[in-house]
């Protein structure tokens, strides 16, 4: 995936047709959605913006601030109708975006989304200098620890070795924890799909059930032997569920 830089935004884009706008999580990267990108670029204009989580020039490290960034990005790109797909923090941003811009959102897919509850590397890094500790926490994201490749662990370790990046992560994580959307979700009218790992330790299955009970119109699908990042750990099943949702 080739990253494009335009008017201060970084993103990848491929395909033509309806827009599938993908929002990654706090420790996410564009590569997390590589299988989705490949599977849907024939039917959709797939766009993945790189969230400015570690950008010194971007001053507002919060869910609301990152949502504003996506609103500015959508406006810059001239997008009028969106199919949103968000994982973890990206799902939280999709929720807030949908509330602020209901006319722009055709469908929304959430997987392991924050917004109600999240337990993970959220509020502190008590052993952030320890590679083994970071490895354990990254493995905690998945059902199968082997999914946490050395490349992925190295990437997270490099991120939290930076005081500046760690501070940004902590501020955004605390914002997500404080920004509970329980009382707002019923106002979201977009057709919604919830895809959850049955073995998600960060946003457990009960969170998915609560989301499903709060949305006016949503479908909930669980994937067995799957943790917090279904699109990475079970890409074939995840893509099949998404294609059924889009009826393609």
* Cα 96 from Cα 92, distance rounded (Å): 6
Per-residue pLDDT of the chain (248 residues; tens, 9 = 90+): 789 999 999 999 999 999 999 999 988 777 889 999 999 999 999 999 999 988 877 768 899 999 999 999 999 999 999 999 999 999 999 999 999 999 999 999 999 999 997 655 444 454 556 889 889 989 999 999 999 999 999 988 988 888 888 888 889 988 988 889 999 999 999 999 999 999 999 999 999 999 999 999 899 999 999 999 999 999 999 999 999 999 97
Q: Which residue has the tokens 């570690």?
A: 54
* Cα 17 from Cα 173, distance rounded (Å): 34
The model's pTM: 0.93
Q: Given this model, what pLDDT does residue 118 score?
A: 63
Domain 4-117+179-246 has CATH 3.90.730.10: no
* Cα 34 from Cα 81, distance rounded (Å): 23
* Cα 222 from Cα 137, distance rounded (Å): 23
* Cα 120 from Cα 123, distance rounded (Å): 8
* Cα 37 from Cα 39, distance rounded (Å): 6
How far is C-alpha 68 from the chain's CA centre?
A: 16
């Amino acid at each position: 995936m080739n990253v494009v830089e335009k008017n201060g935004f970084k993103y990848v884009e491929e395909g033509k047709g309806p827009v599938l706008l993908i929002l990654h999580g706090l420790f996410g990267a564009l590569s997390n959605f590589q299988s989705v990108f490949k599977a849907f670029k024939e039917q959709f204009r797939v766009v993945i913006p790189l969230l400015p989580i570690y950008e010194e020039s971007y001053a507002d490290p919060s869910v609301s601030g990152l949502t504003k960034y996506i609103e500015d990005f959508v406006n810059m790109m001239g997008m009028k109708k969106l199919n949103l797909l968000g994982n973890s923090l990206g799902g939280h941003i999709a929720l807030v975006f949908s509330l602020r811009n209901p006319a722009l959102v055709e469908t929304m897919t959430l997987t392991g989304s924050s917004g109600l509850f999240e337990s993970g590397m959220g509020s502190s890094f008590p052993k952030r200098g320890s590679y083994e500790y970071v490895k354990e926490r990254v493995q905690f994201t998945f059902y199968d620890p082997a999914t946490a490749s050395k490349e992925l662990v190295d990437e997270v370790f490099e991120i939290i070795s930076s005081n500046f990046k760690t501070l940004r992560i902590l501020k955004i994580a605390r914002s997500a924890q404080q920004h509970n959307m329980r009382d707002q979700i019923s106002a979201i009218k977009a057709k919604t799909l919830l895809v959850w790992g049955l073995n998600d330790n960060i946003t457990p299955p009960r969170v998915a059930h609560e989301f499903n009970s709060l949305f006016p119109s949503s479908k909930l699908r669980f994937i067995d032997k799957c943790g917090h990042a279904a699109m990475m750990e079970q890409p074939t099943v995840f893509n099949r569920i998404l294609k059924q949702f889009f009826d393609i």
